[in-house]
Amino acid sequence: MPRLPETPAPPAGSLVTGHFVKGPRYATYRERGTHDWLLVYTASGHGRFGHAGGELVTNPGDMTLLKPGVLHDYGTARGQRQWEPFWAHFIPKPAWLEWLEWPEIAPGLLHLTLAGDESRYRIVRRFRELVRLNAGPSRLREPLALNALEEILLRCEQANPRGAAAGLDSRIARSLAYICDNFAGPLTVPKIAAQCALSPSRFAHLFRVQTGQTPQRYLELQRLNRARQLLEFTQEPVSTIARQVGFENPFYFTLRFRRHLGASPREWRQRQAGRG
C-alpha cells in the first residue's frame, strides 16, 4: 500500500482537542508523530492504529495513547462505515507521567479498554466538557480544560491493570467513583456502603485497608480539592463555593480548608492571584 500524505501536526505545546465522526476513508499519517502525546477515545464505530508489527483495531470504550515521536498511522478501520473519536494532543504535567504507564501494544502505542456503560458514559461526558472548555472564550479555558483532562486520565488509571488502582477490591473501586461523582451531596458511610452491598462497618474497615484512609477523610479531600479549583478558577464567593462542594457551614469549611492547605480560602485565592 502506498504511503499516505503527511498530515499537518498541531501547534507544539498547545492543548488541542476535538471530536468528530468520520467515514470509511478517513486516515491520518505522521511518520514521526508529534512532539506531544495523543489521547484518543473511541466512542462509536471502529478505528485503526498502524504500527510496525501490524495494526490495532479499536472498539467503543477503547482508549489509545501515542507517545511523542511515535508513528501516527490511524483512521477508520478497514471495512467499517465510520469512526467516532474524542481526542486530545497534550503535554503531560510531571505528576501525570506515572498514570500513563499503560499496556503497550507496540513501542509507544498504548491501549486500555474501559469496561461498563457507566465508565464509558463518564468518559464521554468529561471529554465533551474538555472539548467545550478548550474552545471557549474564557482566559482560563486551558487550565479548566486541563482539569477535565486530568480527570479523564485518573479514570483511565483506575482501569489500568498496571496502575495503582489495579489491586483494589471492585466494591471499593465502585465506592471511590461514587464519592467522586456525588461528593457535593449529603453523603454518609451507610449511603456509600449501600452502593457496594456492604454493611457500614464492613465497608469502613475494607475501605481503610484498601486505601489507607477512612471514607469520611476521602470524601472531605474530594470536597476540599474541588473547592481549591473553584477558588483558583472562579470568582464565586467563598460561602457559595462551600455549599457547592458539600459544606453547609462556611465557617467549618474555612477551618477544614486551612487545616488541609495551610491557608484560609481567601488567603489561598489571593496567593494564586498573586502568582498569575
Instruction: Give yes or no for residue 39 having a pLDDT over 80.
Output: yes
- pLDDT interval class at 159 (50, 70, 90): confident
Q: How many angstroms separate the Cα of 83 from the Cα of each of 2, 6, 239, 258?
A: 22, 20, 45, 48
The matching CATH number, chosen from 3.40.50.1260, 1.10.1060.10, 2.60.120.280, 3.40.50.720, for 16-159 is: 2.60.120.280
List phi, psi (to 5°) of 211. -110, -15
The candidate with the shortest Cα–Cα distance to 3, out of 79, 64, 71, is 71
Give pLDDT, residue 165: 57
pTM of the model: 0.62
Give pLDDT, residue 276: 52
The candidate with the shortest Cα–Cα distance to 195, out of 209, 181, 211, 213, is 181
pLDDT-wise least confident of 27-31, 205-209, 272-276: 272-276
The matching CATH number, chosen from 3.40.50.450, 1.10.10.60, 1.20.120.1200, 3.40.50.261, for 168-275 is: 1.10.10.60
Give pLDDT, residue 2: 54
Instruction: Give yes or no for residue 112 having a pLDDT over 70.
Output: yes
pLDDT-wise least confident of 83-87, 97-101, 268-272: 268-272
- The 10s digit of each residue's pLDDT in 161-209 is 776 555 678 888 888 888 888 889 999 999 999 999 999 999 999 998 8
Beta strands of the chain (E only): which ranges?
16-19, 27-30, 37-45, 47-51, 54-58, 62-66, 72-76, 83-90, 104-106, 109-113
